[in-house]
Amino acid sequence: MPEIPDSANPLGPALLDAISRELTLFLDTQETTTSQVVTGELLELARTFTDGGKRLRPAFCYWGHVAAAGHPQDPTGLLRASASLDLLHVSALVHDDIIDASDTRRGIPAAHHQFAAHHVAHHGRGDADTFGSAAAILLGDLLLMWSVELFEDSDLDPGRMSRARTLLSTMRTEVVCGQYLDVGASFGVTDVTDLEAEMEVARRILEYKTARYSVLRPLQVGAALGGGDDRLEAVLAEIGSLVGRAFQLRDDVLGVFGDPHVTGKPAGDDLREGKRTVLVLTALQRADAAQRSALDDALGNLAMSDGQLQAARAAIGATGALAEAERIIADDVDRAVATLRATSMTDEGRTALIRLAQLSGQRDH
């Protein structure tokens, strides 16, 4: 039986290793079927991109259950259900890297680039990049289907599974719609006419693409699997929205100021991809002519130079947008922690969720 995770270290080895073990065991069961149809690169890249990562969504799911009901006597089923959220997440990342034309993911070539390299190595016909994108789309689709299969294989209480399944279905719809809105905003097809309206769209993207997907729904799914009541579900929604916003704002900061050796993505990647995040839009709202010019030179510039990156970073700092993002992150985490301390739940669940809230705002990758 797996080791019981430590609430004081909710992203510690006991939980991370258990999630990794469940993912490995599940992918092992897929080898017979996949090998009958294709050679091993599809499953191998599934293993590659599910190896590692923050495991944040599985963690919120697991500790949401603990908040409602404590640790299960045998955590295997809960760990499977929690691990299924990581398959869903990796599916989204594979597709996201195609949409954003990202070169790397977690410090290695993105899936579509690895498939393109496979095409070249095997002297394939046609265009290698076209093959790479097509193959990566299929990998993402496969991971999405596998996430459903792993969740259904968790073999937990049927009534609780039914409630969790409904929340999980809503979560999938929300994140795809949030992603579509994000793409629409990047391409300027959201019918906004000024920066204030753009900011409203950016906040909606933040809530639906990240806060609900990364924190709020995983918390609620875990609590539902633990038999949590409507009151707890509502409080976890409040907490999840706050922590999820802090998590995404930290991501926005890292997308501009992060160290590529730590984040695993190129420096200033959000600027290069033209992402008009809350951080960037705050800077644009406050910028003078020179600062706006520096931001315009960097946004969506795939050939952005180091000098242009540094000028855009300086503009974001000088407008106070960076300080404002840091203030909101700190305030949201503080509010979430205060709510957790005032809410009736298990002591272990409260301890773990407070620590997860703090980590979500403080992370460096």
Check pLDDT > 90 for residue 107: no
**Which residues lie closer than 8 Å to 310 by C-beta, 6 or more apart?**
none
In percent, how much of the chain has pLDDT > 90? 88
Q: How far apart are CA 234 and CA 219, in angstroms?
A: 11
> Across the chain, what does the average pLDDT equal?
95
Name which residue leads in pLDDT, 55 or 103.
Answer: 55
Please give the radius of gyration of the chain, using alpha carbons only, rounded to the nearest integer.
21
59-61-150 Cα angle (round to 5) = 100
Taking the whole predicted model, whether its pTM rises above 0.75 is answered as yes
**What is the per-residue pLDDT across 59-76, written as a single tens digit (0 to 9) for each?**
999 999 999 999 999 999
**Which residues lie closer than 8 Å to 58 by C-beta, 6 or more apart?**
15, 19, 79, 82, 83, 85, 86, 218
According to the model, what pLDDT value does residue 261 have?
85
Q: Are 178 and 17 spatial neighbours (Cβ–Cβ below 8 Å)?
A: no
Check pLDDT > 80 for residue 1: no
Q: How far apart are CA 178 and CA 165, in angstroms?
A: 20
**What is the per-residue pLDDT across 253-270, written as a single tens digit (0 to 9) for each?**
999 999 988 887 788 989
Q: How far apart are CA 294 and CA 117, in angstroms?
A: 36
Residue 227: pLDDT band (50, 70, 90) is very high
According to the model, what pLDDT value does residue 176 have?
96
According to the model, what pLDDT value does residue 341 have?
98
**What is the per-residue pLDDT across 182-194, written as a single tens digit (0 to 9) for each?**
999 888 899 888 9
According to the model, what pLDDT value does residue 327 have?
97
